[in-house]
Structure 1
């Protein structure tokens, strides 16, 4: 499987395995099956209870409005799940793939909305031909919606060296300094750890300053440590402390 290289805002290159076309198609099919089951269940339940409910007394357009309202979960299925499952739908989760920003950070609600709108072109109007061709012809394997939103679909099954993970051993009596670290994601912490490793190798003070300012801004917490290096190291330790308590 080929890799997708993402350069973060801290100029750290991180490699991900991009999701294959087969994985994306299969995830799409699984999601369609779930949506079809939901729509079928709603339709038959409404037909069963139609005679015994006020619905049967409504005019055609009113009944259509009720059905449309009940089918909204199927219409907004992909948008809803990608927003609230951090770039995954049930189908994507089953195939262990997810949507991320090409800079390595978590995609925003706006990014997911753009991808969802462009499904009309990528998948619906062209029967998936445009989406498949775009994935095949672009370097980062993006459909049109991904290109516009600045996102990519990666595989979360790639093997990662232990030194590249966010895990680190913690002392039992460790006392955290920054409870705000819980606002960071695993992906953010992985990027911070890689950047810190690069800083220690190159002694890049500019990168350290940029990293510190970025982490402070995302967490909404100022540096309380005596040095920027100590601040970043503390953030990593605090994140591990809180996540290991969950």
Structure 2
């Protein structure tokens, strides 16, 4: 497996394992099962034949409804990755995640870019394919199949042969797909999962370094695991002393968790 080493602003190295092409294909297959299930059950439930009867054969209206019906499938990976923090259902089941090449959470623009460029990764030469198909020539059948397959395999070959296993959309959006099954798990790094609309509470967290945060997070996780409340009290006191923060949280757990997320918010935004 390929690994990626990211150096943070404080010169702390974090290693990630890049998802393989087969892991990504498996996630892609699972996502297509979800899409097919939506299409199948929705069609069973609403039925376009019933729609045709109710609209008295109004072709334009039927087509418009069909387009609306397909929107959840068309934009599935885009809204899934935005709402599920870099994951679709398939990626979550296989413990894969999209992150920025610098180790941070991608922006909404990054997600939109990698989604839009799927047209290159999986549908290259689609217009040429349609053109050849429209000719209706029997002797063009082999060419038609070759064009279709090659267009679908562009993303596959890019993931397979690029250094960071990136398809074209990843390269342009500056993103990679990592596996969370790594020996050094995502939860063991200083990174935290924060929502795109997250509102920070303590600006003074920037007085901490990446190494400080790593120690805080490791101590915090261990204390929570063993219900060591004395350590949590000491950890909170130390953070307050170093940062001059005026805490608005009464709970040590909530305060430290907020500090971890706030630090990620401010350092990702820089």
**TM-score (normalizing by structure 2):** 0.61
Task: Give the equivalent residue in structure 2 for 1:20.
Answer: 20
Q: How many residues are aligned here?
A: 195
Match of 1:150 among 174, 184, 187: 174
SS at match of 1:50: helix
SS at match of 2:87: coil
Q: Distance in 2 between matches of 1:23 and 1:225?
A: 43
Q: Distance in 2 between matches of 1:162 and 1:192?
A: 19
Task: Give the equivalent residue in structure 2 for 1:7.
Answer: 7
SS at match of 2:70: helix
Matches within 5 A, 1:55-134: 55-57=54-56, 59-125=58-124, 126-134=150-158
Q: Is the 8 A contact 2:31 2:90 kept in 1?
A: yes
Residue ranges of structure 1 left out of the alignment (5+ in a row): 168-177, 185-190, 199-223
Query: Residue 156 of structure 1: CA displacement?
Result: 0.6
Q: Distance in 1 between matches of 2:48 and 2:187?
A: 58
Query: Residue 57 of structure 1: CA displacement?
Result: 2.5
Query: Residue 195 of structure 1: CA displacement?
Result: 6.5
Residue ranges of structure 2 left out of the alignment (5+ in a row): 125-149, 192-198, 216-238, 246-251, 261-270
**TM-score (normalizing by structure 1):** 0.67
Task: Identify the range of structure 1 (117-126 vs 20-29) with the bigger mean alpha-carbon deviation.
Answer: 117-126
Task: Give the equivalent residue in structure 2 for 1:239.
Answer: 256
Structure 1 residues 54 and 162, CA, compared in 2 at 3 Å: closer, same or farther? Answer: closer
Q: Is the 8 A contact 2:201 2:258 kept in 1?
A: no
Q: Distance in 2 between matches of 1:54 and 1:21?
A: 46
Structure 1 residues 141 and 77, CA, compared in 2 at 3 Å: closer, same or farther? Answer: same
Query: Residue 41 of structure 1: CA displacement?
Result: 2.0
SS at match of 1:57: coil
Structure 1 residues 120 and 91, CA, compared in 2 at 3 Å: closer, same or farther? Answer: same
Q: Distance in 1 between matches of 2:185 and 2:111?
A: 30
Q: Distance in 2 between matches of 1:163 and 1:120?
A: 33
Q: Distance in 2 between matches of 1:28 and 1:127?
A: 16
Q: Distance in 2 between matches of 1:120 and 1:162?
A: 30
Q: Is the 8 A contact 2:180 2:186 kept in 1?
A: no
Q: Distance in 1 between matches of 2:97 and 2:185?
A: 20
Query: Residue 160 of structure 1: CA displacement?
Result: 2.4
Q: Rg bigger for which structure? A: 2
Structure 1 residues 161 and 60, CA, compared in 2 at 3 Å: closer, same or farther? Answer: closer
SS at match of 2:181: coil
Structure 1 residues 192 and 138, CA, compared in 2 at 3 Å: closer, same or farther? Answer: farther
Query: Residue 194 of structure 1: CA displacement?
Result: 3.7
Q: Is the 8 A contact 1:7 1:13 kept in 2?
A: yes
Query: Residue 56 of structure 1: CA displacement?
Result: 2.8
SS at match of 1:67: helix
Structure 1 residues 241 and 8, CA, compared in 2 at 3 Å: closer, same or farther? Answer: closer
